[in-house]
Copies of this chain bind each other. A is one copy, B any other.
Amino acid sequence: MRNIKLTIEYDGSRYSGWQRLKNSDETIQGKLESVISEMVASPIEIIGSGRTDAGVHAKGQVANFHTKSKIPIREIHKYINYYLPQDIIVKEVTEVPERFHSRYNVKSKKYVYYIWNHWIPSAFDRKYSYHLVEKLDIEFMKEASKKLVGTHDFIGFSSVKKTNKSTIRTINETTIAKEGNMVKFIFIGNGFLYNMVRIIMGSLVEVGLKQKEISYIDDILESKNRSVAGRTLPPQGLFLEEVYY
């Protein structure tokens, strides 16, 4: 069996997220599976690096699928983009060793969250950022974000229900940069729990607005309690930027 790896970019605005749903055609995985199954004339299941929620975007989601089809890589690439809707684009198609698995083999992931921080909104960035009127103290947020770096139990920053799976993750790097009115928050880590980036963002915003001290991040980590953390920021500011193997 051939194993085909896809790197995918999507504007998540009108989708119910990555994961195929029984009663909705409006998922990224669902769209890809129906186009690819049609192409190879047999039902295909694609494995994603992980889910993204409804409304979340991706610049570099990764997925793979197995097939006996002999269609050349370049033809697969052209066919998929031709039949996919315009807001889902396959950027790269490569043939990988049969054992490669998009989810199990992930080393780390990069997420980016955008906040448009000005009282006048933006006509072009409204669907790709969260609009916040009150001015953020970026230096405060940088200090607070450093406390996330390292290996921690991130369950306080997650919407996961009680689980037997580990909620310990490592964040390798956080970067915050302001360009004009746009503030860009970059997170690189070995894994992210359900809603983790958006809850981290809701908590960092409270620090940036000086409603909370920098030590708030420590408090959330120590509490291991979702209700201590800030709110879940909306999905349209979030991008799955890259998956590393």
Contacts and interface: CB of A to CB of B under 8 A. Distances in A.
A123 B10 contact: yes
A124 B91 contact: no
A56 interface: no
A77 B119 CA distance: 11
A91 B11 CA distance: 26
Interface stretch (A81-89, A189-197, A220-228): A81-89
Contacts of A120: 77, 81, 89-91
A11 to B, nearest CB: 5
| 6 closest cross-chain pairs (CB), A and B | A89-B123, A9-B123, A11-B123, A87-B123, A86-B126, A10-B123
17 contacts: A9-B122, A9-B123, A10-B123, A11-B123, A57-B124, A77-B120, A81-B121, A86-B121, A86-B123, A86-B126, A87-B123, A88-B123, A89-B120, A89-B121, A89-B122, A89-B123, A91-B120
